[in-house]
A = this chain, B = another copy of it.
Amino acid sequence: MYTIKELQSIISEEIAKEIIQLNETDPKNLYEPISYALSMGGKRLRPVMVLLAGNLFSESIENAIPAALAIEVFHNFTLLHDDIMDQAELRRNSLSVYKKYNQNIAILSGDAMSIMAYNYLLRCNSSDHTGMIRLFSQTALEVCEGQQLDMDFESIMDVSIPQYMNMIRLKTAVLLACSLKLGALAVNAPEKSADLLYAFGLNLGIAFQIQDDLLDIFANPDKFGKKIGGDIVSNKKTFLLLKALELSDYRLKTTIQDWITRKECDEAIKIQAITGIYNELNIKSITEGYVNEFYQSALDILEEIELPGEAKNEILQLAGMIMTRDH
């Protein structure tokens, strides 16, 4: 089996090849922004998940490579359009496509990337080709639904924990799950194993997203790439905030809502105040409990897949990378 590092370098080379080709394709104003978006990097965890899943069942991962490219291009399409919607000027310390070029170019390049993802997928030659496209397309639509729910939540005060779980399942988890299953389908893995990998990815994705909310406040500031407390400042409906609202009495709830609706306030004091409430309600350990529960569910599902120990170790290592946000 390939190591994760080897898979990362395989996919990086493949993406580099695509970037070269994109730079030679007309119209330049359509394909250069796509090339730029793909060259911004990242740890390529999703396409590595595709390749790793393929490698679990087949020595040759040749046929999983187009599926890995499809997932990476689709993921970057969502980031590109998200940046327009959020008016985000930076992405991985570079100018976002929307800021570097302009909004119209960003809209159209994103549209093209979404279509290109299908074109990559169409290069795979598995026995269940249509099944792969069907899974991908269903997942892509779910990701749009998750993004819409996330936007909806911005203007809804009383989001329930089940509503939140549904949102992160759609926005984040299904694409991780789909990545694993696509890789398996690309090498004609047994259907049952492919389905179990999907379920594994779904639970892992949910654990990852809740963990991501946790890291906004309780991460080690030296290792964390972003500013601590950013979600608090932007009033993001994180798992922590929603759980705190659920558990707080009238007095605390009023205090939280007061902070959220306040127009102007000192950021540091706001972060301190909300973090104080989280501590009072024991939110950190409650959230960690949820993370562990979903992570454990993922591990239990992994147990059920018939695979040699070495293979499982590779998946566990990747899962660990995802959970420690080493990307």
Binding site for B on A (CB under 8 A): 26-27, 29-30, 81, 84-85, 104-105, 107-108, 110-112, 114-116, 118-119, 122, 129-130, 133-134, 137-138, 140-141, 144-145, 147-149, 151-152
In the docked arrangement, what's the CA distance between A140 and B85, Å? 23
Beta-carbon contact of A122 and B133 below 8 Å: yes
Contacts of A148 in B (CB 8 A): 27, 29-30, 105, 108
Q: Cα distance A133–B119 when bound, in Å?
A: 9
Interface contact B107-A84, CB-CB below 8 Å: yes
The answer, among B108, B137, B151, B152, for a CB contact under 8 Å with A85, is: B108
In the assembled complex, the Cα of A114 lies from the Cα of B114 at a distance in Å of 8
Q: Give the residue name and chain of the B residue nearest to A144 (CB).
A: B112
Most chain B beta carbons < 10 A, residue from A118, A119, A130: A118
The answer to whether B137 and A119 have CB atoms under 8 Å apart is: yes
Q: Which of B85, B107, B110, B130 contacts A122 (CB 8 A)?
A: B130
Chain B residues contacting A84 (CB-CB under 8 Å) are 104, 107
Known contacts A112-B144, A130-B130, then 15 further A-B pairs from the complex at CB < 8 Å, ordered by chain A residue? A27-B145, A29-B148, A29-B152, A30-B144, A30-B148, A81-B107, A84-B107, A85-B104, A108-B144, A111-B144, A114-B115, A118-B133, A119-B137, A119-B141, A122-B133
Asked if residues A122 and B134 are in contact (CB atoms below 8 Å), the reply is: yes
Contacts of A129 in B (CB 8 A): 130
Identify 10 residue pairs between A and B in the complex whose beta-carbon atoms are under 8 Å apart, listed by A's number. A29-B151, A81-B107, A84-B107, A105-B148, A108-B144, A108-B147, A111-B114, A118-B133, A119-B138, A122-B133
CA distance in complex: A147, B29 (Å): 11
Interface pair A107/B107, CB less than 8 Å apart = yes
Main secondary structure of the interface of A (DSSP, over half): helix
**Total copies of the chain:** 2
Q: In the bound complex, how far is the Cα of B138 from the Cα of A118, in angstroms?
A: 9
Given A27-B148, A148-B29, A152-B29: A141 and B112 interface contact (C-beta under 8 Å): yes
- Do the beta carbons of A115 and B140 come within 8 Å of each other? yes
B-chain residues with CB within 8 Å of residue A104 when the two chains form the complex: 84-85, 151
Closest-CB distance, A80 to chain B (whole angstroms): 10
How many angstroms from the CA of A105 to the CA of B148 in the assembled complex? Answer: 8
The one of B122, B130, B140, B152 in contact with A137, judged by C-beta atoms closer than 8 angstroms, is B122
CB nearest to A129 among chain B residues: B130
The 5 A-B pairs with the shortest beta carbon distances in the complex, nearest first, are: A30-B148, A112-B144, A85-B104, A27-B148, A115-B140
* Contacting pair A152 B107 (CB below 8 A): no
- B residues near A105, Cβ cutoff 8 Å: 148, 151
Could you tell me if B145 and A30 are in contact, using CB atoms closer than 8 angstroms?
yes
When distances are taken between beta carbons in the complex, the residues of chain B under 8 Å from A111 are 81, 110-111, 114, 144
Tell me whether A115 and B133 are in contact (CB under 8 A). Answer: no
